[in-house]
Amino acid sequence: MSHLYGVLRKSKMVDMVGFMDSTKTGAIGCGNPIERSRAIADRLKKAKRGQIILLPYNSGYALFKYCIHAL
């Protein structure tokens, strides 16, 4: 995601997009589902109104990226 961050910074759009720490949401080694859900909820609470949060998630089989729009 460092490339994406660079593009956002260059376009002066960094405040529009937030990133979720992938070490807190992956299925392997990141706690139980409740702890992972709490980490996501905490990050969404810190989001600015209208900000898009990118949430990488590793299920153990493939890496997915979810996009959540904070209302």
Q: pLDDT tens-digit profile of 16-63?
A: 988 887 777 766 667 788 888 888 889 889 888 888 888 876 666 655
pTM over the 0.85 mark: no
Q: What is the pLDDT of residue 33?
A: 81
Q: What is the pLDDT of residue 66?
A: 60
Q: What is the pLDDT of residue 1?
A: 59
Q: What is the pLDDT of residue 69?
A: 62
Question: What region, left, alpha or beta, does residue 69 occupy, with left being phi > 0 and alpha being psi -120 to 50 degrees?
Answer: beta
- Kindly report the three-state secondary structure assignment for every residue of the chain: CHHHHHHHHHCCCHHHEEECCHHHCCCCCCCCHHHHHHHHHHHHHHCCCCCEEEEEEECCCCEEEEEEECC
Q: How sure is the predictor about 70, in pLDDT bands with cuts at 50, 70 and 90?
A: low
